[in-house]
Structure 1
Amino acid sequence: MLNFTVDSRTCTRCGACAADCPPRIISLENGLPAIAPEKEAACYKCQHCLAICPTAAISILGVAPEQCTGLTGTLPAPEAMATLIKGRRSVRRYRDENLAPELLQQLLEVAWHAPTGVNSRQVRFTVVDDRRKMAEFRTNLLEELGKLVRRNALPAGFERYADFVRVWEEQGQDILFRGAPHFLVASAPQAVVTPAQDCLIALSYFELYARVNGVGTVWDGLATLAITQLVPAARQWLGIPDDHAVGYCMAFGPPAVSYQRTVQHPAALIHRVS
């Protein structure tokens, strides 16, 4: 049941909800917007109808307008958004401290609002939420990599992982996770339309929201390859479902470095179709 309801006292019959409905299942035939029972299965559950209603007359999926945040006057200025995007940095130096649990939960909840193919909303965040858990995971993963090195069993193209193991064993230097106290894996069922893309978009949202909350992040390709290509047991350690595709991994936590300004990259590569 979609629980699609309309407040007849405030609805203006403007038709905005029907016009913006992606599967076109909202009807105005009887004056007020309505969804026929036989069409409910086609609903994307995107809540566009609730979001677009100018008078907050529509509720759906048990969500009422008064539970939502109004957008007028609350969005960041374009200049602030541009600075956020241009000012993001890959952080490779972290303090050995946990984030506050409430902040960590907020980061995940907000990032999960990222768009997904056909609104599947199946991205799963697997998070290492405590630095002691992270230390154990780091040690176990590097030990397994060390076994591969000593058996000369690293696949072609992964030879540099021998150096990562050596630096860890000789100097205690963590190149895989950069000493971050937290770790995030975005995965999605292989059966959804766009599992990899959904995960990458979600992590991009996570990264930007983390930045404005003073949290550092780094896209962790080295750890992603270690988990998906070299030490498959790591998926079981982390509890990633067997039918999930790992989109990417991100290390994060309180940064031990503070960047002061944006940088200057070359001009954007743009091709305008003639």
Structure 2
Amino acid sequence: MALQFQVDEDVCVGCGECANVCPFQLIEMKGDIPAISESNELSCVQCQHCFAVCSTGALSILGLDPSDSITINGSSVEPLQLSTLMKGRRSVRLYKKEPVARQDLDLLLETISYAPTGVNNRQVHFTMIDNPEVMERLRERTYEKLNTIHSTNAYPPGMDYFKQYIADAIENNRDTIFRGAPHMLIASSPKTSPSPEVDCHIALTYFELLAASMGLGTVWCGLGKGVLTMLIPELLRELGIPETHLVGYVMMFGKPDVTYHRTVQRSSMSVNRVQKIG
């Protein structure tokens, strides 16, 4: 895509903030007007920092119109309110059967597309099951295959931790793996991207915090990830996840069938406050 770096000289105040904020110093001031050379355009990672920092909306890039962006000047979340939300977030393992509304799903997906990625590669791939009937079919397929693996003890080495939960699910006929959640979100990224696993984790953290603010429950599903990646990876292909991708994590979510009334209490944490070096 052409960079389309454009500046409305009648609106630009020549502050130079766009040049200062560019991570790779690709923008230079030609007098009071910012510019980027053709050779520097090739090094642009399209982070849009220059676009976002322009106070007057004089700068456009990638054909974007500044007036279409959300204005953030003066709009912030109260720190204590956000802190309480984060402290009160719980891993939810009890869900109602009803689906999350489409507009809520769309807001969640749109928002996590803004999560940062290494070198702004933006290659995280989100695979969402938004239809509870499809989730139920995945559940059935998963346990059909796990029954075969468990009955023949065909576990690969290093699966002792998972075996106990799979045994519990099969022997007690309960969904220990997916926790009865009506929805699933899998974040994956190309194995060759700069930081595939971290990028996925950041995006899912965005997801869980926004979901918590909407009254939705989430759980980081390590059992689901382990089962799908180590025992029955063929289901990942059926879900449309490319073989060239690393699965960062699996998150189950939905309307919680449990209410938490207070935060937990943490008594200690490991902090190293560096006061001096050398």
TM-score normalised by the chain length of structure 1: 0.95
Q: Tell whether 2:116 aligns with 1:77.
A: no
Per mean C-alpha deviation after superposition, the further-off stretch among 62-71 and 220-229 is 62-71
Aligned to 1:270: 271
Q: Which amino acid aligns with 2:137?
A: E
- Is contact 2:13-2:32 (8 Å) kept? no
Instruction: Give the whole-Å Cα distance in 2 for the aligned partners of 1:49 and 1:98.
Output: 40
Q: Measure, in 2, the Cα distance between the counterparts of 1:147 and 1:172.
A: 15
Q: Which AA in structure 1 matches 2:57?
A: A
Alignment partner, residue 197 of structure 1: 198
TM-superposed deviation, 1:34: 1.2
Look up the match of 1:18.
19
Contact 1:197 1:247 in 2 (8 A): yes
Find the counterpart in structure 2 of residue 32 from structure 1. Answer: 33
1:166 and 1:227 map into 2 onto residues whose CA distance is 16
Which residue of the partner structure matches residue 253 of structure 1? 254
Residue 162 of structure 1, CA deviation = 4.5
After superposition, give the CA deviation of every residue in 1:131-158 in whole Å (9 maximum; x if it has no partner): 1000000110111111111111113442
Render the CA deviation track for 1:204-234: whole Å, top value 9, x for unaligned. Answer: 1100011101111000000000011111111
Q: Using the TM superposition, give the Cα deviation of residue 263 of structure 1 relative to its aligned residue in structure 2, in angstroms.
A: 1.6
Q: CA deviation at 1:172?
A: 3.2
**Residue 95 of structure 1: how far off its partner (Å):** 0.4
State the SS of the aligned residue for 2:247.
Answer: strand
Secondary structure of 2:252 counterpart: strand
Q: Which amino acid aligns with 1:229?
A: M
Q: Aligned with 1:28: secondary structure?
A: strand
Cα deviation, residue 171, structure 1: 4.0
Measured in 2, the distance between the counterparts of 1:197 and 1:170 equals 35
Superposition map of 1:46-61 within 5 A: 46-61=47-62
**2:240 equivalent to 1:239:** yes
Q: Report whether the alignment pairs 1:137 with 2:138.
A: yes
How far has the Cα of 1:45 moved from its partner? 0.5
Count of aligned pairs between the two proteins: 274
Given the alignment of the two structures, is residue 127 of structure 1 paired with residue 89 of structure 2, yes or no?
A: no
| Range moving further from structure 2, 191-200 or 97-106 | 97-106
Paired amino acid for 1:47: Q
Aligned residues of 1:111 and 1:202 also touching (Cα < 8 A)? yes
RMSD between aligned residues: 1.4
Q: Give the secondary-structure state (helix, strand or coil) at the position aligned to 1:42.
A: coil
Alpha-carbon contact 1:146-1:162 (below 8 Å) kept: no
The more displaced of 12-21 and 105-114 is 105-114
CA contact (8 A) 2:15 2:32 kept: no
What is the CA-CA distance between 1:84 and the residue it aligns to? 1.5
Give the structure 2 partner of residue 118 of structure 1: 119
After TM superposition, give the deviation of residue 19 of structure 1 in Å.
Answer: 0.7
Q: What are structure 1's unaligned runs of at least 5 residues?
A: none
3-state secondary structure, aligned to 1:33:
strand
